[in-house]
Amino acid sequence: MSIEVLTADIEGGENLQRWAAMGLPIPPSWRISRQVITGNSVQWLTQQLATLAHMFSGDRYWVLQQGPMNPESRRESLLNLDSDEALAAALQRIFQRAPGPDHVVIQALPKQHAAGVLFTRHPLRQDLPHMVVEGVVGGNSERQRLIFDENDRLVYAPEAQLPLNQQVGEALFCRLHRQLKDNFKHPQAGEWVFDGEQLWLLQTLPVGSLSVPKEAWARRAGVGLFNQVETPLWYTLAGRWLKAGFWEPLVESAGWKGLAKVEPYRRQHSHIYTNCAFFRELQREHPGAARFVPPAWQSLECDPASAPQTVGSSFSKSINQWRQSWILLELSLNVQKWKQPEVTREGLWRAFMRLDAMGESLSRVEGELAYLRLADALVDYRAPLPLTLLVTPTELRALQSLVAGEVDSVRDTALRPGVDPVHAPLNEGPAQASTLNRLQQPGIVSDAPLAQLSDADEQAFKMARTARGLRFAIGNRLRQLLRSMAAIAVEQGTLQHLDDIHFLYFDELWQLWMGSALPASANKAVIGDRKLRYLDDGLQGAPDWKMDQVGYGFGGGQRLSPLLRGLTLVPGSAEGAIRRVCSAWCLNKVQPGDIVVVDEVDPAWLPWLVQAAGLVIAQQDPANGAASLAVTYGIPAIWGASDVMHSVQDALQGTLDATHGKLAMASDMNNDDVTVQ
């Protein structure tokens, strides 16, 4: 019986053979049976081993697979041995055990320069598609961690005397990552060794901490919908409109029986989360829906070749576009004709129901655009959209006035920083009005490109801009109406403040209006608690995802942690206080010269962002208004800084090097600079 060479074989008895057949970089391997060891001396075995690894000149070592680390483990216990003699002695000891194995596997490797583990997905974050590499270099005991995004871009590397990414090379890690992803359905943890030239894979295992979630909810879903805290009343109105106007007809026409009675929305942390189960179905035919499901569900996406073909003819698309345009035109006329009703209980409620019907009609078009048409279109673009496609004409005039230094004229407008009726217009003097300021860097023209849209995509975004304007128009009229209704309730003593009406859910408002008393579920103490939670959530933000009741992607800005490096959007530099803006309620803190950090951005916030010295944007989203603003007016900016909202503290001094995608912050603990990249 001889020592058996393990060749690449997809049906081989050893994992190493199957992995080698997949094209993975497996070191030379052999299988040694008990019969080889029995009756032979250590010296004889040493001589046999010396002839095996002749392909490696100079220093080399052996890796002995001793079997599973425990009876229930799939991970092999690996023993490194630095000489033929040491391996021969170890083999003798193993086969002398009672009971011992029938055979063992050995591998030969050149001298080790670095070693570690590569995770094809972040082992602790179900919401991130990032690759994580952990390892040590040479004889250094310091463990380093590298993080790469889904585009194989290094987004985090620690300061180290011998940087792991430089000693091994980013391209080698990315190549192994792609090989593992292409060959395994589940996320993998691959143990690797670097010999100074090549990266070798010793073994790979599924990442046990990354189970597929049973349910998932996304805070960032759709294009331009629900991008900040929402009051209970607006949640029940807007959520019901989209459910009835868009989701229910879609579920019925698509035949998704399993989703027929599933709720599409949930309000948590004062934000509206969308049920990813709907996008899990949509991604089969709509590529834009894939970014609204967690990474574990993206792997379940059907092959486009096998997906049902629902692409309609140009004629049917034209008919659909005509239908949407007609709905928007009809709504525009109805909104213009709408007048504040007579202030009676019946008159106010009838007017409320008319606006409610308008909202549901509008939501049919908005749902089709935000979840389907625009989401699919954005897959093809890598640069920000032209600013004029995102803001209404009124908002554009306000921006142009601020650029010209005409701040007071903007403060006299009826602009509101959010569609929710709770937001007051600027001419009513909210706190946000006082922090409007002119552009900080006038005259600078950025050479960063804007997206060049196809005619069809440009038309779709223009239609979405019109729909957004109508949504604000309905919200404006609802605000007037609700203030009249609240005034009656305050006069009767059922509400304490006019704004309390926004913190009732729709069924509670109905009971109040029809019964002239607050329901028990919404007493004055409850309303007070709701308002406090709403404002706190508006300042802190909320998790990006909720999966199996656990929140992911949230630090609330209360702690410093490594930032993921961003991509250069507009080159330049800036120094100033860091300002997190996660809702309209943060806008009254923005000061001229701040480095503003944002995730999703309502275009209505842009008048406040023109005063920023620099912008840091969490996502690389072409439809993010902050990105379009930066390119249009030459504000130094980076985007694609994944966890930035959860990794900085408000008001700390920072230095933005947008040219190199780098942010340096002064620690709150001392005066040392903390560099994040």
Do 243 and 643 meet the contact criterion of CB atoms below 8 Å apart?
no
CB-based burial of residue 114 (10 Å sphere; 0-12 exposed, 13-18 middle, 19+ buried)?
buried
Say what the pLDDT of residue 442 is: 61
Average of per-residue pLDDT values in the chain: 89
DSSP 8-state assignment for residue 576: E
Task: Report how far residue 20's alpha carbon sits from residue 7's, in angstroms, rounded to the nearest whole number.
Answer: 8
Query: 486-540: per-residue pLDDT in tens?
Result: 999 999 999 999 999 999 999 999 999 998 778 888 899 999 999 999 999 999 9
- Number of residues in the chain: 677
Say what the pLDDT of residue 403 is: 92
Say what the pLDDT of residue 71 is: 52
Say what the pLDDT of residue 76 is: 66
Residues 62/68/74/75 CA torsion (nearest 10 deg): -40
Task: Report how far residue 379's alpha carbon sits from residue 604's, in angstroms, rounded to the nearest whole number.
Answer: 24
Say what the pLDDT of residue 260 is: 94
pLDDT at 457 over 70: yes
- φ, ψ of residue 406 to 5 degrees: the values are -90, 70
CATH superfamily placement of domain 567-676? Phosphohistidine domain (3.50.30.10)
Say what the pLDDT of residue 676 is: 38
DSSP, collapsed to helix, strand or coil, labels residue 429 as coil
Do 651 and 578 meet the contact criterion of CB atoms below 8 Å apart?
yes
Nearest to 362 by CA among 341, 333, 398: 333
Pick from 27-31, 256-260, 512-516: least confident: 512-516
Query: 626-636: per-residue pLDDT in tens?
Result: 999 999 999 99
User: For the residues of 401-426, what is the DSSP string, one character each?
Assistant: HHHTT-HHHHHTS---SSSSTTSPPG
Query: 120-167: per-residue pLDDT in tens?
Result: 999 888 888 899 999 999 877 789 999 998 889 888 888 788 889 999
Query: 172-193: per-residue pLDDT in tens?
Result: 999 999 999 999 988 999 999 9
- At residue 53 the predicted structure's pLDDT band, cuts being 50, 70 and 90, is low
Query: 577-606: per-residue pLDDT in tens?
Result: 999 999 999 999 999 999 999 999 999 999
CB-based burial of residue 676 (10 Å sphere; 0-12 exposed, 13-18 middle, 19+ buried)?
buried
Select the more confidently predicted residue: 56 or 113.
Answer: 113
pLDDT at 69 over 60: no
Residue 188 Ramachandran class (φ > 0 left, ψ -120 to 50 alpha, else beta): beta
Say what the pLDDT of residue 155 is: 85
Helix 345-367 × helix 232-242 angle, to 10°: 50
User: Can you name the CATH fold of 114-206?
Assistant: D-amino Acid Aminotransferase; Chain A, domain 1 (3.30.470)
DSSP, collapsed to helix, strand or coil, labels residue 145 as strand
pTM, two decimal places: 0.86
The Cα angle at residue 209 between residues 205 and 213, in degrees rounded to 5: 115
Tokens of 234: 């607006």
Say what the pLDDT of residue 103 is: 87
Say what the pLDDT of residue 356 is: 97
pLDDT at 558 over 60: no
Pick from 358-372, 384-398, 613-627, 641-655: least confident: 641-655
Average pLDDT of the segment spanning 409-434: 95
Say what the pLDDT of residue 4 is: 87
Say what the pLDDT of residue 487 is: 96
Say what the pLDDT of residue 410 is: 95
Say what the pLDDT of residue 57 is: 64
Say what the pLDDT of residue 304 is: 45
DSSP 8-state assignment for residue 584: G
Pick from 63-77, 78-92, 417-431: least confident: 63-77
In the chain, domain spans? 4-110, 114-206, 567-676
pLDDT at 252 over 60: yes
Query: 381-400: per-residue pLDDT in tens?
Result: 999 999 999 999 999 999 99
